[in-house]
Chain A
Amino acid sequence: MSTLHLIFNQEGLASCKRLKAKQDKMILLGEAVYCAPTMSLAGEISQFHILKDDFDARGLKTEKELCFVSYDEMVELCAQSAPIVSWNA
């Protein structure tokens, strides 16, 4: 099973990017959704997911094809992954 990374802020994203393996999946939540509009996702777009509620709540908009997930989809990703690592630093 590949690892799932839950990323809670910008520092967490920087750390995760250094330590994730190629096939791993990532979910941006909380403060980390602010990173989404300026991220260059080329080549990795299918692996970075963004929690939709957190993105919409903050009034963020995007023209990019971002991969939004609901809580249900987050649960499904967790069920398919091991381990699940939370990043905030």
Chain B
Amino acid sequence: MIAPKHIISIKMIFTIAVLGGPYDSQANLHAFKFAQSVIGNGHRINRVFFFHEGVSIALKHRELSQEEFDYNKAWIELSSEHDVELNVCVSSGGRRGVVKNETIDSTLAEGFELVGLGQLVEAISSGDKYVEFTA
């Protein structure tokens, strides 16, 4: 008996870069919805990397009105539900006020991690697809 042919859909590993802030561009909207679809279609995300002005999502203190969508919260929920790392470029972050250290008040939001560019390079080297969301 000949076994039925199966269509094998290859699952991919995506690295997603967010290059714009949550309120100066659609970068976070696009990246977040894309990330949800990546996961929904059975692929994996090895890292979401926040670079250039994208680092501002990781600022801890924000006051939003009720109608405003909270991207920070959305990313953190996605990260914990699906084990996705939220990495913020440490040098881009530092110059834009996203910092974490013992001597001054940290401004880095929980759930985000400050990392070097090597982490982005490592992610794209080991992943299958790299997608950039910009302004």
Direct contact of A and B (CB under 8 A): yes
Mark A52-80 against chain B: 1 for CB-CB distance below 8 A, else 0.
01100000000000000011101110110
Complex contact A6–B135 (CB within 8 A): no
Give the size category of A's interface with B: 20 to 34
A-B contact pairs, 27 of them (CB 8 A): A6-B131, A8-B135, A9-B135, A30-B26, A53-B33, A54-B26, A70-B37, A71-B33, A71-B36, A71-B37, A72-B40, A74-B34, A75-B34, A75-B41, A78-B14, A78-B129, A78-B131, A79-B43, A79-B129, A82-B129, A83-B130, A84-B131, A84-B132, A86-B132, A86-B134, A88-B134, A88-B135
Complex contact B37–A72 (CB within 8 A): yes
A29 within 8 A of B: yes
Return chain B residues, CB-CB under 8 Å to A29: 26, 30
If over half of B's interface residues share one DSSP class (helix, strand or loop), that class is named, otherwise mixed; here it is: mixed
- Given A78-B129, A88-B135, A72 and B26 contact (CB-CB distance below 8 Å): no
The docked-state distance in angstroms from the alpha carbon of A84 to that of B133 is: 11
B38 within 8 A of A: yes
Besides A72-B37, A82-B129, A86-B133, 18 more A-B contacts (Cβ < 8 Å) are: A6-B131, A8-B134, A29-B26, A30-B26, A30-B30, A53-B33, A54-B26, A71-B36, A72-B40, A74-B37, A75-B34, A75-B37, A75-B38, A75-B43, A76-B41, A79-B12, A84-B131, A88-B135
Give the size category of B's interface with A: 20 to 34
Return chain B residues, CB-CB under 8 Å to A78: 14, 129, 131
Interface residues of B (CB under 8 A from A): 10, 12, 14, 25-26, 30, 33-34, 36-38, 40-41, 43, 129-135
Nearest chain-B residue to A51 (Cβ)?
A: B30
